[in-house]
Amino acid sequence: MKRKCSIPTPLGNMDAVAEQGALWGLWFAGQRYQPEISVDWVEDPDHPLFAALRGQLDAYFAGKLRAFDLPIAVEGTPFRMAVWALLRNIPAGTTTTYGTLAVQLAGGRGGRVPSAQAVGGAVGHNPLTIIVPCHRVVGANGSLTGYAGGLDRKAALLALEGVENLRQGV
């Protein structure tokens, strides 16, 4: 059974979904690619996992947490899962590009480098916004591009982490 709750943050409310004691989804309310929240999912804001998530989000937005430590259970295609695994290795305060991620993926694909656009599609469908740090991926020229939660939020998250000298997307 999936459990859900809404969590207020400085960048707007977030919808959280958990299943079997693991975080299954976290999106800014109304974020692009967010699945429909089912009426069958149980509203359970007091669930211990959501309490831990609120605490870690509060610490992150206060600048006191750089990496999250929560049980997660993401679901996706093997390609998306590989991209999301790479995202989890991008340290706070740094960025990488879609093209760099594509080259990193080539090792697990027999040397075939997927397109940066394919990587961008997988990044955009990340089900755990902030937890799996898709906001740390920028365009080849360092521009802010492609954030399902909105470019203003992406810029705010990167600024919170101390990333400077970013260009607005074209």
pLDDT tens digits for range 30-70: 899 888 878 889 999 999 999 999 999 999 999 999 999 99
pLDDT at 5 over 70: yes
**φ, ψ for residue 131, nearest 5 deg:** -60, -50
Amino acid type, 125:
H
pLDDT at 2 over 70: yes
Task: Report the C-alpha gap between 40 and 2 in whole angstroms.
Answer: 8
pLDDT at 170: 42
Give the mean pLDDT of 136-159: 93
Task: Report the C-alpha gap between 9 and 17 in whole angstroms.
Answer: 16
Q: Which residues are catalytic?
A: 134
Query: Mean pLDDT score of the chain, rounded to an integer?
Result: 92
- Smallest CA-to-CA distance from 149 within 164, 128, 168, 166 is with 128
Task: Report the C-alpha gap between 105 and 118 in whole angstroms.
Answer: 11
Tell me the β-bridge partners of 138: 97
